[in-house]
């Protein structure tokens, strides 16, 4: 049975080097997958008939870069194995290969992610060779990305205070119209230009900023620079919108609206070109003050976006009680919408709800052209993600715009 499978690999230019562990109790299926995998990788390929055998393989070298994992198996099933795998120091890519109900598989996928297995996906049986090739390439990319990942740094409070004052600047990730693929705006994303460690993303410093009570100060800094840059875009013939994240502490500052209006007036940017993004989980505390601030922002024509929609606990309540005019679909749903019926249904339902409420929609985390096309088909207005560009420094963003007037 292996000859047709192996011969089908002759058109592949170069072998991938990735070790694979096949976790499958059906002997025919495991040998079929082994034949396909060996035709695609020069790495080590091992087979285990249940979770216990797979754990034994993980005690010896070479460790796998990819595990093809069935769910229904004797002695130790795939769910038990994933739980055990999460407790090990070795992290690798995992693909669920079960033929059981897709709803169960989706639940197991979510369970694995909550256990801390981040690079987990699913593939339908009977498995096709192209699907395995895709999984091997993804596993290789994950391995390469992790080897290049930023280390964790420890910063003193004085380091953070100085950085907020003079070293943190907004970068800009483009917003692209889903239908026309025209560039219509950008989101300002804070970056720390560290003198030793280079450009650092918020996961390195945001929690410490919040603990020091500097969130509001940082927001005002980003507003000042972001609005100034957007006004500059307009002067250069780039009539773009700017989206800026704000925090719960901003919403309870009753002087916040006046500060925003003063910055807009200073740079002569019409208010309708500014959107403030607020995560839904940050709205509930001090709701009266938050609604006070949000309502004043809206009557002054500043747009309000409910960010990360669907990830909090009071999404619909916040949506109908707050004066939002934009809904942003969280990247967690976008990322899996083409491989999970539930995720696609969630994205679709969010977009339909937004349309019925008269809200503009933005999808973040768009990484592939297939996702972009599907979101456009579902009626999403604006797309944001690496399929178009990462966040760019101010001058780089202008150069990118000039080179890419249409995405």
Q: Residue written as tokens 């679909």?
A: 329
**Can you tell me the distance from the alpha carbon of 287 to that of 284, in angstroms, rounded to the nearest whole number?**
5
Paired tokens of 312: 């909090």
**Can you tell me the distance from the alpha carbon of 213 to that of 378, in angstroms, rounded to the nearest whole number?**
41
Q: Helix, strand or coil for residue 284?
A: coil
Paired tokens of 194: 């560290």
The count of other CB atoms within 10 Å of the CB of residue 30 is: 18
Are the C-beta atoms of 64 and 91 separated by less than 8 Å?
no
Paired tokens of 9: 């690999």
Q: Which member of 3, 364, 367, 399 is catalytic?
A: 364
DSSP annotation string for 19-88: -EEEE-S-HHHHHHHHHHHHTTBSS-EEEESSHHHHHHHTTSSSPPSEEEE-S--SSS-HHHHHHHHHTS
* Dihedral of alpha carbons 255, 260, 261, 267, sign: positive
**Can you tell me the distance from the alpha carbon of 135 to that of 333, in angstroms, rounded to the nearest whole number?**
20
Active site residue 280: no
What residues pair up with 185 in beta bridges, in sequence order? 175, 241
3-state helix/strand/coil string of 212-244: CCCHHHHHHHHHHHHHHHHHHHHHCCCCCEEEE
* Dihedral of alpha carbons 243, 244, 249, 255, sign: negative
**Could you tell me where the DSSP H helices lie in 71-214?**
78-86, 102-114, 129-147, 157-166, 206-211
For residue 405, CA distances in Å to 178, 242, 354 come to 14, 16, 28
Are the C-beta atoms of 184 and 380 separated by less than 8 Å?
no
Residues serving a catalytic function are 364
């Amino acid at each position: 049975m292996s000859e047709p499978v192996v011969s089908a690999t002759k058109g592949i230019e170069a072998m991938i080097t990735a070790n694979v562990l096949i976790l499958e109790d059906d002997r025919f299926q495991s040998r079929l997958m082994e034949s396909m995998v060996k035709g695609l990788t020069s790495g080590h390929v091992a087979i285990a008939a249940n979770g216990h055998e797979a754990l034994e393989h993980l005690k010896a070298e070479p460790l796998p870069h990819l595990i093809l994992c069935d769910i229904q198996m004797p002695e130790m099933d795939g769910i038990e194995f994933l739980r055990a795998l999460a407790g090990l120091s070795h992290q690798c890519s995992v693909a669920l290969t079960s033929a059981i109900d897709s709803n169960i598989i989706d639940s197991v996928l979510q369970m694995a992610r909550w256990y801390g297995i981040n690079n987990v996906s699913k593939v339908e049986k009977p498995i096709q060779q192209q699907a395995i090739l895709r999984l091997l390439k993804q596993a290789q990319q994950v391995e390469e990305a992790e080897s290049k990942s930023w280390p964790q740094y420890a910063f003193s409070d004085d380091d953070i205070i100085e950085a907020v004052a003079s070293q943190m600047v907004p970068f800009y990730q483009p917003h692209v119209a889903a239908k026309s693929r025209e560039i219509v705006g950008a989101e300002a994303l804070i970056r720390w230009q560290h003198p030793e460690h280079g450009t650092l993303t918020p996961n390195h410093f945001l929690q410490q900023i919040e603990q020091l009570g500097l969130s509001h100060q940082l927001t005002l800094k980003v507003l000042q620079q972001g609005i100034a840059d957007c006004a500059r875009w307009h002067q250069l013939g780039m009539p773009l919108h700017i989206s800026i994240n704000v925090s719960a502490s901003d919403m309870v500052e009753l002087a916040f609206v006046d500060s925003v209006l003063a910055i807009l007036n200073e740079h002569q940017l019409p208010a309708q070109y500014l959107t403030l993004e607020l995560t839904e989980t940050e709205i509930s505390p001090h709701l009266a003050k938050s609604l006070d601030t949000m309502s004043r922002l809206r009557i002054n024509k500043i747009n309000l976006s409910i960010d990360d929609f669907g990830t909090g606990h009071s999404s619909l309540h916040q949506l109908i009680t707050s004066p939002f005019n934009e809904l942003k679909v969280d990247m967690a749903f976008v990322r899996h919408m083409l491989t999970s019926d539930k995720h696609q249904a969630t994205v679709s339902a969010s977009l339909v709800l937004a349309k019925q409420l008269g809200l503009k929609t933005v999808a973040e985390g768009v990484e592939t052209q297939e996702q972009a096309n599907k979101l456009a088909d579902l009626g999403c207005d604006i797309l944001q993600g690496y399929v178009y560009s990462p966040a760019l420094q101010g001058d780089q963003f202008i150069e990118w715009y000039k080179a890419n007037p249409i995405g």
